Structure 1
Amino acid sequence: MSVHHDPSHPLDRRVRVQGRPVDSYPELPAEARRGSARRVTEIGEEVLGRRCREVAEFGSAELSALIDDMFRTMYVADGAGLAANQVGVDLRLFVYDCPDDAGIRHVGHIANPVLELPGPDDRRLVDDHEGCLSVPGATMPVHRTDRAVVRGFDKDGEPVVVEGTGYFARCLQHECDHLLGHTYLDRLSKRDRKDALRQMADRREEVYARRAAKAADLG
């Protein structure tokens, strides 16, 4: 998911890592410093259109390295979240570094996520612009609920529960959609989908230039 937040809610230093509050946290997490940037898949590629496989082996060096690479890739692409199939790996796994509307920064990863949304009586739909690293340069309004809970596991197989409101709730829903083989374009009308693809065609090269510059800045 692309970075986007309401500037009327400037970020403060409150941070939650893996759903738990911490006193401080580096701007660039250790995972991103260890990892290597991978190519981001684009809309139309087969891996983005199919349901991802469950993570079956926890605690492995391979899983840790994938998470490190996903963090690095997300920061290079200026993202707020990134699913494994966006780097060509069809596993139910995503990483995130995303603010909520109260200015709290949420950072972490989650494997085999299960998304829980409010019931019909408690649900409030919000129409806000949404972007995707696999649809470079395009943003469109998308209906999402303003609250979400995701339950899953960390890389060692320990249970994780992450609660999101506002923009972070949108991020959680966006990434869970990816792992089911969907992008936000699937939630648009045919007309809006065509508009998004036109935006992508017009801005794609500019986006890739920014990513190359960011990769150089990060070393």
Structure 2
Amino acid sequence: MAYRAIRIVGDPVLRTPCAPIKDINHGVRTLVEDLLENVDDEGRAGLAANQIGVSLRAFSWNIDGVVDYILNPVIVEISEDHFQDDDEGCLSVPDLWFPTKRSWYARAEGIDLDGKKKIVEGEEIMGRCIQHEVDHLDGHLYIDRLERSERKKAMRAIRDL
């Protein structure tokens, strides 16, 4: 296990869709260990593999005392009629928080390190985390989802980082 530096907005790895994990090998197991270790820090809710420079579909989370991971996640369900628009932040866009509309509930399916089906789902912060981290794996940042006026503010603030 190793501490990994967080990639910051402007790094091309954050804008590149991550490849599916096809072979669960030593490298993937080490990636999961690193994701779990690096997300288990105060103020961290989730961490996608590309945020630590690895373009593979995997993320970890640290929500309500639960630290876990999922490989090859795909969102299969979100609430269509119940939303949240709280401030959202990101380790890759440090120290900036903007109101971001997300579905209240999200469910993703993927696999674990044994190749078995794994489901992660939740409401409110967990729902937000699932959507946020899968966005990362698809090459998107939360600032892409901001309303136009908020996005302008975010882009100005990012230029000042």
TM-score by length of 2: 0.90
Contact kept in structure 2, 1:85 and 1:178, CA below 8 Å: yes
Question: Which of the residues 110, 118, 129 maps onto 2:87?
Answer: 129
Matched, 1:151 2:117: no
State how far apart, in whole Å, the 1-side matches of 2:9 and 2:108 are: 25
- Cα deviation, 1:77-117, whole Å, max 9, x if unaligned, reads 73110000001111010011113xxxxx4431101111023
Give the percent of matched residue pairs that are identical in Structure 1 and Structure 2: 39
In the other structure, the counterpart of 2:28 is 63
Question: What is the Cα deviation at residue 41 of structure 1?
Answer: 0.5
Question: What is the Cα deviation at residue 182 of structure 1?
Answer: 0.3
State how far apart, in whole Å, the 2-side matches of 1:143 and 1:52 are: 23
Matched, 1:49 2:49: no
Which secondary structure state, in structure 2, belongs to the residue aligned with residue 62 of structure 1?
helix
State how far apart, in whole Å, the 1-side matches of 2:7 and 2:44 are: 14
Contact kept in structure 2, 1:128 and 1:141, CA below 8 Å: yes
Question: What is the Cα deviation at residue 162 of structure 1?
Answer: 1.3
User: Structure 2: 5+ residue runs without aligned partners?
Assistant: none
In the other structure, the counterpart of 1:171 is 129
Matched, 1:38 2:4: yes
Contact kept in structure 2, 1:126 and 1:143, CA below 8 Å: yes
Contact kept in structure 1, 2:14 and 2:51, CA below 8 Å: yes
State how far apart, in whole Å, the 2-side matches of 1:170 and 1:37 are: 25
- Cα deviation, 1:152-189, whole Å, max 9, x if unaligned, reads 00122111011211111000000010011001010013
Contact kept in structure 1, 2:46 and 2:129, CA below 8 Å: yes
From the two aligned structures, give the one with the greater strand fraction: 2
Matched, 1:94 2:59: yes
Question: Which of the residues 29, 37, 57 maps onto 1:72?
Answer: 37
Structure with max Cα Rg: 1
Question: What is the Cα deviation at residue 200 of structure 1?
Answer: 5.1
Question: Which of the residues 59, 63, 71 maps onto 1:111?
Answer: 71
TM-score by length of 1: 0.68
The number of equivalent residue pairs is: 161
In the other structure, the counterpart of 2:98 is 140
User: Structure 1: 5+ residue runs without aligned partners?
Assistant: 1-34, 100-104, 205-219
State how far apart, in whole Å, the 2-side matches of 1:73 and 1:118 are: 27
In the other structure, the counterpart of 2:147 is 189
Contact kept in structure 2, 1:37 and 1:76, CA below 8 Å: no
State how far apart, in whole Å, the 2-side matches of 1:40 and 1:72 are: 13
- Cα deviation, 1:58-93, whole Å, max 9, x if unaligned, reads 1x2211111111222223473110000001111010
